[in-house]
Amino acid sequence: MGLLDGRRALVFGVANDHSIAWGIARALHEQGAEVGFSSIESLIEKRVRPLAESIGSTFIEPCDVQSDDQIRTVFERWRQTYGDDASLDILVHALAFARREDLEGEFVDTSREGFALALDVSAYSLVALVREARPLLREGSSVITLTYYGAEKVVANYNVMGVAKAALEASVRYLAADLGPDGIRVNAISAGPVRTLAAAGISGFKRMYGEFADVAPLRTNISTEDVGRSAVYLASDLSAAVTGEVHYVDAGFNILGVPTGES
Ligand code: NAD
Ligand code: 0WE
């Protein structure tokens, strides 16, 4: 008996087995959900299909979230696969992108193009996915996105991604207000630093990751399994009265006023 028996999930953002999206997909599957996947085309055959098939998934579709056409096609394929009255019970948005040059140096140097790109991929994409998914969403459906503390407070080098995550978190609240009357919930998980592809090669990430475990109240880094278990809560009826929230999976880091290892 799983918490998500009979539910269907669609997960955007698996790049490899370190991806937060993959930790969430596994956790949803463990609780009985049937999980479909969408990632950018170049990742599908080599990376996504083997992972998806390892948990019995057959719905695996490409989508670059910068393309309205590709977004529309994914949900059309969902309808073709599961039928016109097909429900989508869980939608997971776990993707972000900014130019590497905008994740170093000073935020003030962000170009118009770099700003627009980061906000398009990392924030607007949630709005676009939810709009296209809306006919498939039902009373009890749950939308989950991934955010980071850099939305709220300045984190060195996070720069334009912090602004994009602030827009994403505000979008969660407005989407929750729009979809709430239909019984559809929208929430964000604010995860502590995880060593994924998106963190690889970020200047200063390694040091920040190490120091995080020295200062976070629980004195540990967080894992994609930790995020997965919280996603199960947000996807299931356990959180039936929770919407528009940012839920921290960060070993308590965000509660600290002055993060030092002394407390
Ligand atoms: P990841 O590299 O495994 O996943 C990022 C995904 O974004 C990749 O699958 C990539 O293909 C996808 N993506 C980028 N541009 C895209 C586009 N145009 N269309 C479709 N997909 C696109 O890294 P991750 O750390 O698992 O990131 C997942 C989410 O978690 C992101 O929103 C990230 O901001 C967030 N997050 C990460 C951390 C961390 O420390 N790793 C912490 C908090 C939040
Ligand atoms: O959201 C993120 C990272 C998102 C991300 C990562 C990359 C790296 C490769 C977006 N775009 C790109 N573009 C690339 O070319 N995180 C929460 C992880 C992260 O990134 C940081 C962090 C943390 C934590 C960047 C600077 C400082 C801290």
- Side-chain half-sphere CA neighbours of 63 within 13 A: 30
Of the ligands numbered here, which is closest to the C-alpha atom of 194? Answer: 1
pLDDT tens per residue across span 92-139: 999 999 999 999 999 999 999 999 999 999 999 999 999 999 999 999
The answer to whether residue 259 sits within a structural domain is no
Look at residue 216 and tell me whether its pLDDT is greater than 80.
Answer: yes
Question: Among this protein's residues, is 149 annotated catalytic?
Answer: no
Q: Is 30 in the pocket of ligand 1 (CB under 6 A)?
A: no
The answer to whether residue 263 sits within a structural domain is no
Q: What b/e readout covers 74-102, taking b as 16+ CB neighbours within 10 angstroms? A: bbebbeeebeeeebbbbbbbbbbbbeeeb
154-177 mean pLDDT: 98
Residue with CA at minimum distance from ligand 1 atom 27: 95
pLDDT tens per residue across span 26-38: 999 999 999 999 9
Distance 256 CA to ligand 2 centre (A): 22
Please name which of 19, 31, 41 lies closest in space to residue 90, comparing C-alpha atoms: 31
Residue with CA at minimum distance from ligand 2 atom 19: 199
Q: Is 103 in the pocket of ligand 2 (CB under 6 A)?
A: yes
Q: Is 15 in the pocket of ligand 1 (CB under 6 A)?
A: yes
% of the chain surpassing 70 pLDDT: 99
Residue with CA at minimum distance from ligand 2 atom 26: 158
The answer to whether residue 3 sits within a structural domain is no
Q: What is the mean pLDDT of the chain?
A: 97
Q: Is 160 in the pocket of ligand 2 (CB under 6 A)?
A: no
Supply the DSSP symbol for 47.
I
pLDDT of amino acid 263:
59
The answer to whether residue 261 sits within a structural domain is no
**Contact present, 161 and 123 (Cβ < 8 Å):** no
How many domains are there within the chain? 1
Q: Which helix (H) or strand (E) covers residue 30, if one does?
A: helix 20-30
The answer to whether residue 38 sits within a structural domain is yes
CATH label of the domain that carries residue 33: 3.40.50.720
The answer to whether residue 99 sits within a structural domain is yes
The answer to whether residue 143 sits within a structural domain is yes
CA distances from 185 to 8, 137, 141, 239, 244 (A): 15, 10, 6, 9, 7
Catalytic, out of 148, 149, 233, 248: 148
pLDDT of amino acid 246:
99
- The domain in which residue 35 lies consists of 8-251
Question: Among this protein's residues, is 209 annotated catalytic?
Answer: no
pTM greater than 0.85 (yes/no): yes
The answer to whether residue 193 sits within a structural domain is yes
What's the pLDDT band for 73 if we cut at 50, 70, 90?
Answer: very high
CA of 147, closest atom in ligand 1 = 44
Distance 104 CA to ligand 1 centre (A): 18
pLDDT of amino acid 84:
75
